[in-house]
A and B are shown apart, each in its own frame.
Chain A
Amino acid sequence: MKEIRIHGRGGQGSVTAAELLAVAAFEDGQFSQAFPAFGVERRGAPVQAFTRISDAPIRLRSQVYEPDYVIVQDPTLLEVVDVARGTKDTGVIIINSDFDPEEFDLKTNAKVMTVNATKVALDIIGRPIVNTVLLGAFAGATGEIQPDSIVRAVKERFPGKIGDKNSEALLEAYNQIRGDAL
Protein backbone atom coordinates (compact mmCIF):
# COMPACT_ATOMS: atom_id res chain seq x y z
CA MET A 1 0.00 0.00 0.00
CA LYS A 2 1.19 3.50 -0.86
CA GLU A 3 0.11 6.49 1.18
CA ILE A 4 0.12 10.05 -0.16
CA ARG A 5 -0.30 13.27 1.77
CA ILE A 6 -1.11 16.52 -0.03
CA HIS A 7 -0.43 19.86 1.65
CA GLY A 8 -2.18 22.94 0.37
CA ARG A 9 -4.19 25.95 1.35
CA GLY A 10 -7.96 26.13 1.49
CA GLY A 11 -9.12 26.89 -2.03
CA GLN A 12 -6.10 25.48 -3.85
CA GLY A 13 -7.76 22.18 -4.64
CA SER A 14 -5.89 19.75 -2.39
CA VAL A 15 -9.04 17.77 -1.69
CA THR A 16 -9.88 17.60 -5.39
CA ALA A 17 -6.33 16.48 -6.14
CA ALA A 18 -6.54 13.66 -3.59
CA GLU A 19 -9.88 12.52 -5.03
CA LEU A 20 -8.65 12.68 -8.62
CA LEU A 21 -5.62 10.61 -7.65
CA ALA A 22 -7.85 7.99 -6.02
CA VAL A 23 -10.11 7.86 -9.07
CA ALA A 24 -7.09 7.59 -11.36
CA ALA A 25 -5.68 4.72 -9.29
CA PHE A 26 -9.07 3.02 -9.49
CA GLU A 27 -8.96 3.43 -13.27
CA ASP A 28 -5.56 1.74 -13.13
CA GLY A 29 -7.27 -1.27 -11.54
CA GLN A 30 -6.15 -0.62 -7.97
CA PHE A 31 -8.00 -0.06 -4.73
CA SER A 32 -7.97 3.50 -3.43
CA GLN A 33 -9.42 5.97 -0.96
CA ALA A 34 -9.18 9.75 -0.45
CA PHE A 35 -10.28 12.15 2.24
CA PRO A 36 -9.26 15.55 3.65
CA ALA A 37 -8.39 16.90 7.11
CA PHE A 38 -9.06 20.54 7.83
CA GLY A 39 -7.91 22.74 10.64
CA VAL A 40 -9.91 25.90 10.37
CA GLU A 41 -12.26 25.74 7.42
CA ARG A 42 -11.54 28.90 5.54
CA ARG A 43 -9.69 30.07 2.49
CA GLY A 44 -5.92 30.14 2.86
CA ALA A 45 -5.73 27.97 5.95
CA PRO A 46 -3.38 24.97 5.70
CA VAL A 47 -5.22 21.88 4.49
CA GLN A 48 -4.14 18.26 4.27
CA ALA A 49 -5.65 15.67 1.99
CA PHE A 50 -4.80 11.98 1.89
CA THR A 51 -4.89 9.22 -0.70
CA ARG A 52 -4.20 5.53 -0.24
CA ILE A 53 -3.51 3.24 -3.17
CA SER A 54 -3.19 -0.52 -2.87
CA ASP A 55 -3.40 -3.79 -4.78
CA ALA A 56 -5.64 -5.19 -2.04
CA PRO A 57 -8.76 -3.76 -0.38
CA ILE A 58 -7.84 -1.00 2.10
CA ARG A 59 -9.27 -1.42 5.57
CA LEU A 60 -7.28 1.38 7.21
CA ARG A 61 -9.34 4.52 7.83
CA SER A 62 -6.94 6.71 9.82
CA GLN A 63 -5.19 9.83 8.61
CA VAL A 64 -1.86 9.31 6.89
CA TYR A 65 0.92 9.76 9.44
CA GLU A 66 3.79 8.05 7.62
CA PRO A 67 3.37 8.95 3.95
CA ASP A 68 5.32 7.38 1.12
CA TYR A 69 4.81 10.51 -0.93
CA VAL A 70 4.14 14.12 -0.04
CA ILE A 71 2.88 16.81 -2.41
CA VAL A 72 3.27 20.46 -1.39
CA GLN A 73 1.15 22.90 -3.41
CA ASP A 74 2.57 26.08 -1.91
CA PRO A 75 6.18 26.48 -0.69
CA THR A 76 5.17 29.15 1.84
CA LEU A 77 3.48 26.31 3.74
CA LEU A 78 6.94 25.05 4.71
CA GLU A 79 7.14 27.90 7.23
CA VAL A 80 3.83 26.94 8.82
CA VAL A 81 3.58 23.15 8.55
CA ASP A 82 6.16 20.38 8.97
CA VAL A 83 5.53 18.79 5.58
CA ALA A 84 8.29 16.21 6.10
CA ARG A 85 6.69 14.80 9.26
CA GLY A 86 6.67 11.00 9.23
CA THR A 87 8.09 10.63 5.74
CA LYS A 88 9.82 7.34 4.96
CA ASP A 89 13.47 7.20 3.88
CA THR A 90 12.37 5.80 0.54
CA GLY A 91 9.76 8.53 0.14
CA VAL A 92 9.52 11.42 -2.25
CA ILE A 93 8.46 14.99 -1.46
CA ILE A 94 7.28 17.02 -4.45
CA ILE A 95 7.23 20.78 -3.92
CA ASN A 96 5.70 23.38 -6.22
CA SER A 97 8.54 25.90 -6.46
CA ASP A 98 10.78 27.61 -8.98
CA PHE A 99 13.82 26.89 -6.78
CA ASP A 100 16.01 23.78 -6.89
CA PRO A 101 15.37 20.98 -4.35
CA GLU A 102 18.71 21.77 -2.65
CA GLU A 103 17.29 25.12 -1.53
CA PHE A 104 14.94 23.38 0.85
CA ASP A 105 16.36 22.19 4.14
CA LEU A 106 13.81 19.62 5.26
CA LYS A 107 14.56 17.26 8.12
CA THR A 108 14.01 14.09 6.15
CA ASN A 109 15.85 11.39 4.26
CA ALA A 110 13.16 11.34 1.63
CA LYS A 111 14.01 12.56 -1.85
CA VAL A 112 12.97 16.16 -2.40
CA MET A 113 11.93 17.18 -5.90
CA THR A 114 10.59 20.47 -7.21
CA VAL A 115 8.47 21.38 -10.19
CA ASN A 116 7.46 24.89 -11.20
CA ALA A 117 3.78 24.01 -11.35
CA THR A 118 2.63 27.61 -11.04
CA LYS A 119 4.45 28.50 -14.27
CA VAL A 120 3.07 25.44 -16.08
CA ALA A 121 -0.45 26.27 -14.88
CA LEU A 122 -0.19 29.92 -15.90
CA ASP A 123 1.29 29.08 -19.30
CA ILE A 124 -1.24 26.41 -20.23
CA ILE A 125 -4.36 26.84 -18.06
CA GLY A 126 -3.98 30.60 -17.63
CA ARG A 127 -4.74 30.51 -13.90
CA PRO A 128 -2.41 29.67 -10.99
CA ILE A 129 -4.32 26.51 -10.04
CA VAL A 130 -1.72 23.78 -9.66
CA ASN A 131 -3.45 20.72 -8.22
CA THR A 132 -3.80 18.75 -11.47
CA VAL A 133 -0.35 19.89 -12.61
CA LEU A 134 1.18 18.43 -9.46
CA LEU A 135 -0.65 15.14 -10.05
CA GLY A 136 1.15 14.94 -13.40
CA ALA A 137 4.42 15.64 -11.60
CA PHE A 138 3.54 12.95 -9.06
CA ALA A 139 3.01 10.39 -11.82
CA GLY A 140 6.32 11.37 -13.40
CA ALA A 141 8.30 11.38 -10.17
CA THR A 142 7.01 8.15 -8.67
CA GLY A 143 5.71 5.99 -11.51
CA GLU A 144 2.96 4.85 -9.14
CA ILE A 145 0.28 5.71 -11.62
CA GLN A 146 -0.20 6.08 -15.36
CA PRO A 147 -0.52 9.71 -16.52
CA ASP A 148 -3.30 8.63 -18.89
CA SER A 149 -5.35 7.46 -15.92
CA ILE A 150 -5.05 10.88 -14.31
CA VAL A 151 -6.01 12.51 -17.60
CA ARG A 152 -9.11 10.30 -17.72
CA ALA A 153 -10.02 11.18 -14.12
CA VAL A 154 -9.49 14.91 -14.75
CA LYS A 155 -11.58 14.91 -17.94
CA GLU A 156 -14.37 13.04 -16.20
CA ARG A 157 -14.44 15.56 -13.36
CA PHE A 158 -13.98 18.66 -15.54
CA PRO A 159 -15.64 18.06 -18.90
CA GLY A 160 -14.86 20.32 -21.86
CA LYS A 161 -12.16 22.91 -22.24
CA ILE A 162 -11.10 23.07 -18.57
CA GLY A 163 -10.42 19.34 -18.54
CA ASP A 164 -8.48 19.52 -21.80
CA LYS A 165 -6.23 22.33 -20.58
CA ASN A 166 -5.65 20.70 -17.20
CA SER A 167 -4.73 17.46 -18.98
CA GLU A 168 -2.28 19.26 -21.23
CA ALA A 169 -0.71 20.97 -18.21
CA LEU A 170 -0.38 17.79 -16.18
CA LEU A 171 1.27 15.96 -19.06
CA GLU A 172 3.73 18.86 -19.39
CA ALA A 173 4.62 18.58 -15.69
CA TYR A 174 4.88 14.79 -16.09
CA ASN A 175 7.43 15.19 -18.89
CA GLN A 176 9.37 17.89 -17.02
CA ILE A 177 9.93 15.85 -13.86
CA ARG A 178 10.31 12.49 -15.61
CA GLY A 179 13.95 13.18 -16.50
CA ASP A 180 14.93 13.93 -12.89
CA ALA A 181 13.13 10.86 -11.60
CA LEU A 182 14.82 8.25 -13.78
Chain B
Amino acid sequence: MSIRLGGVCEPGSTRVNKTGGWRTFRPVYDYDKCIKCKLCELLCPDMSVLEWENGYFQFDYDFCKGCGICANECPKNAISMVLEEK
Protein backbone atom coordinates (compact mmCIF):
# COMPACT_ATOMS: atom_id res chain seq x y z
CA MET B 1 0.00 0.00 0.00
CA SER B 2 1.39 3.40 -0.94
CA ILE B 3 0.24 6.62 0.69
CA ARG B 4 -1.06 9.17 -1.79
CA LEU B 5 -0.78 12.94 -1.80
CA GLY B 6 -2.52 14.40 1.25
CA GLY B 7 -2.00 11.17 3.17
CA VAL B 8 -5.36 9.67 2.22
CA CYS B 9 -5.28 5.90 2.74
CA GLU B 10 -7.29 3.23 1.00
CA PRO B 11 -10.15 1.88 3.11
CA GLY B 12 -9.84 -1.57 4.62
CA SER B 13 -6.13 -1.23 5.29
CA THR B 14 -6.41 -2.94 8.68
CA ARG B 15 -6.68 -6.24 6.82
CA VAL B 16 -2.98 -5.93 6.00
CA ASN B 17 -1.98 -5.71 9.64
CA LYS B 18 -2.59 -9.21 10.97
CA THR B 19 -3.13 -8.74 14.67
CA GLY B 20 -3.36 -12.45 15.57
CA GLY B 21 0.23 -12.35 16.83
CA TRP B 22 -0.85 -10.42 19.92
CA ARG B 23 -2.65 -13.40 21.38
CA THR B 24 -1.57 -15.01 24.61
CA PHE B 25 -4.55 -17.36 24.66
CA ARG B 26 -6.17 -18.98 21.61
CA PRO B 27 -9.93 -19.67 21.62
CA VAL B 28 -10.85 -23.22 20.60
CA TYR B 29 -14.35 -24.57 19.93
CA ASP B 30 -15.81 -27.75 21.33
CA TYR B 31 -18.39 -28.40 18.62
CA ASP B 32 -20.11 -31.09 20.73
CA LYS B 33 -21.20 -28.35 23.13
CA CYS B 34 -21.95 -25.59 20.61
CA ILE B 35 -25.67 -24.82 20.12
CA LYS B 36 -25.13 -22.29 17.28
CA CYS B 37 -26.52 -19.43 19.37
CA LYS B 38 -24.28 -16.90 17.56
CA LEU B 39 -23.40 -14.98 20.74
CA CYS B 40 -19.68 -15.34 20.01
CA GLU B 41 -20.12 -13.94 16.51
CA LEU B 42 -22.24 -11.07 17.82
CA LEU B 43 -19.88 -10.08 20.61
CA CYS B 44 -16.50 -10.53 18.93
CA PRO B 45 -14.96 -7.04 18.74
CA ASP B 46 -12.67 -8.03 15.87
CA MET B 47 -15.09 -9.83 13.54
CA SER B 48 -12.90 -12.90 13.99
CA VAL B 49 -15.77 -15.36 14.38
CA LEU B 50 -16.75 -16.63 10.96
CA GLU B 51 -19.89 -18.62 10.22
CA TRP B 52 -19.63 -21.91 8.36
CA GLU B 53 -22.25 -23.15 5.93
CA ASN B 54 -23.43 -25.73 8.48
CA GLY B 55 -24.23 -23.02 11.03
CA TYR B 56 -21.22 -23.64 13.25
CA PHE B 57 -18.46 -21.08 13.66
CA GLN B 58 -14.73 -20.95 13.28
CA PHE B 59 -12.14 -18.41 14.39
CA ASP B 60 -10.10 -16.23 12.08
CA TYR B 61 -6.76 -16.58 13.85
CA ASP B 62 -5.17 -13.95 11.59
CA PHE B 63 -7.08 -11.26 13.46
CA CYS B 64 -8.27 -12.79 16.76
CA LYS B 65 -6.38 -11.03 19.55
CA GLY B 66 -7.41 -13.60 22.14
CA CYS B 67 -9.47 -11.20 24.25
CA GLY B 68 -11.59 -14.10 25.53
CA ILE B 69 -14.96 -12.32 25.35
CA CYS B 70 -16.42 -15.21 23.33
CA ALA B 71 -15.30 -17.81 25.86
CA ASN B 72 -16.57 -15.67 28.73
CA GLU B 73 -20.00 -15.15 27.18
CA CYS B 74 -20.58 -18.62 25.72
CA PRO B 75 -23.63 -20.02 27.55
CA LYS B 76 -22.51 -23.63 27.02
CA ASN B 77 -18.79 -23.11 27.77
CA ALA B 78 -18.06 -24.50 24.33
CA ILE B 79 -15.03 -22.23 23.89
CA SER B 80 -11.84 -22.82 25.82
CA MET B 81 -8.87 -20.47 25.91
CA VAL B 82 -5.65 -22.42 25.27
CA LEU B 83 -2.23 -20.97 25.99
CA GLU B 84 -0.52 -20.06 22.72
CA GLU B 85 2.86 -21.67 22.00
CA LYS B 86 5.26 -19.04 20.76
Contact residues in B for A76 (Cβ distance below 8 Å): 21-22, 86
Q: Cα distance A135–B84 when bound, in Å?
A: 22
Kindly identify, within residues 93 to 122 of chain A, every residue whose CB is under 8 Å from any CB belonging to chain B.
97-99, 118-119, 122
Contact partner, A122, options B21, B83, B85, Cβ 8 Å: B83
Q: Are B22 and A98 in contact (CB under 8 A)?
A: no
Contact residues in B for A79 (Cβ distance below 8 Å): 21
Contact residues in B for A128 (Cβ distance below 8 Å): 24-25
Residue of B nearest to A80 (CB): B21
Contact partner, A98, options B21, B65, B86, Cβ 8 Å: B86
Given A74-B21, A79-B21, A44-B65 contact (CB < 8 Å)? yes
CB distance from B26 to the nearest CB of A (A): 12
Q: Are A97 and B86 in contact (CB under 8 A)?
A: yes
Q: Are A9 and B22 in contact (CB under 8 A)?
A: yes
7 contacts between A and B (CB under 8 A): A74-B22, A77-B21, A97-B86, A98-B85, A99-B86, A118-B24, A128-B25
Q: A74-B22, A80-B21, A118-B83 are known contacts; what are 5 more A-B pairs with Cβ within 8 Å?
A: A9-B22, A44-B19, A44-B65, A76-B21, A99-B86
CB-based closest 9 A-B pairs = A76-B21, A128-B24, A75-B86, A44-B22, A98-B85, A44-B19, A76-B86, A97-B86, A118-B24
Q: Which residues of A contact B (CB under 8 A)?
A: 9, 44, 74-77, 79-80, 97-99, 118-119, 122, 128
Q: Which residues of B contact A (CB under 8 A)?
A: 19, 21-22, 24-25, 65, 83, 85-86
